[in-house]
Amino acid sequence: MKLEGPGNGISFSYLEDFMNFHRLFKFFPVVAVALGLSADDLYLGQTPEKYLMGDYNGGKVHKVFVNKIEKSSFRMRPDVMAAFQKMIEAYDKDRKGKSNEHIFVRSGFRSYADQKYIWETKFTGKRKMRESVEGKKPEEIVSLILQYSSAPGTSRHHWGTDIDINSFDNTYFEKGGKGEFLYSWLQENASKFGFCQPYNEYSKRGEKGYYLERWHWSYKPVSSKLEKEWQKAYQSKKIIIKGKFMGSNTMSDDLPLTYVTSVNTDCKE
C-alpha cells in the first residue's frame, strides 16, 4: 500500500489496497483508536459488556499472584501483575530499616457471581456490617452496603485492575498504624508504577461514591479506560443493573453511574 500527499491528504496507488484498508478499519473497534489498545488487549479477548460486568471466567485470562508469606493467591490482569510486582520490589528496597510491613494482597479480581454473593449475604444480614440490617427498608440496606461494597456489575474488581492490600481498616494506614510508612510510600511512589487510590477522602469526591479506602489501589493505564467504557455501555443500556440482585429495584438509574465514576481525579485520564 502506498500513501501519498502532504498533511491529511491520503491517496492509494491501487483500488484493491484501498478496499483492504477500508475493510481493516471498518471492523477495527473505535476503542482501539481512542484508547491506544486493541479490543483484545483491553478486554483480554472477552465480550466487552461481559468483561465490564465481571461476567466471564477470570481463571482463563488473569494471572495468579501468590503472597509469598501468607501463601494466599489472587487473580489480576497480566499487565497489572507485572506492574504490581515491580512496585513491590521498589517498596521492599525502600522499607529496609524503616518498616517491617510488606505488601500483600487481600483481594483482586472478583467475578459478577462473587460480587453478587457478597452483596446478597450483606443484604440478608448473613454477612455482618457496621450496622445491622434488621428493621431497615430495602433502600436503607442498599445505602448501607454501598458505603464500602459495590453492586454486582459495577465493581472495579471485575476488571482485574484493582487490588486491596494488607488491611481493610483505614487506621492501619494512618499515623501510628503499622502501615503508616507503606501508605506514605504509596502516596509518593505508586503513580510511578501506574497505580492510584480510587477512593480517597470522601469530601474530595463531592461526598459521592464509596467511603475512604486506603487499601484499594487501581492500575490507572487500564482502569481509567475501562471506567469510560463502562459508563458508555451503561448509558447505552448494554449494561443492566436493575432487577438483577436483591435490592436493585430500589436503585435510581443514576445511582450505579455515580458510584462507578465518583473516584479520585488521579485515577482518571
C-alpha span between 62 and 4 (Å, rounded): 43
Q: Are strands 162-165 and 195-196 parallel, antiparallel or unpaired?
A: unpaired
Residue among 41, 167, 33, 188 nearest 107 (CA): 167
C-alpha span between 256 and 102 (Å, rounded): 34
Query: What is the reported pTM?
Result: 0.86
C-alpha span between 2 and 16 (Å, rounded): 11
CATH of domain 41-267: 3.30.1380.10
Q: pLDDT per residue over 130-183, tens digit each? A: 999 999 999 999 999 999 999 999 999 999 999 999 999 999 999 999 999 999
C-alpha span between 260 and 243 (Å, rounded): 18
Handedness of CA 42, 43, 48, 53 (dihedral sign): negative
Q: What is the pLDDT of residue 13?
A: 39
Residues of the chain with pLDDT under 50: 1-35
- Domain ranges for the chain, please list them: 1-36, 41-267
C-alpha span between 138 and 42 (Å, rounded): 36
Q: pLDDT per residue over 67-85, tens digit each? A: 999 999 999 999 999 999 9
Eight-state DSSP code of residue 225: H
Q: What is the pLDDT of residue 153?
A: 98
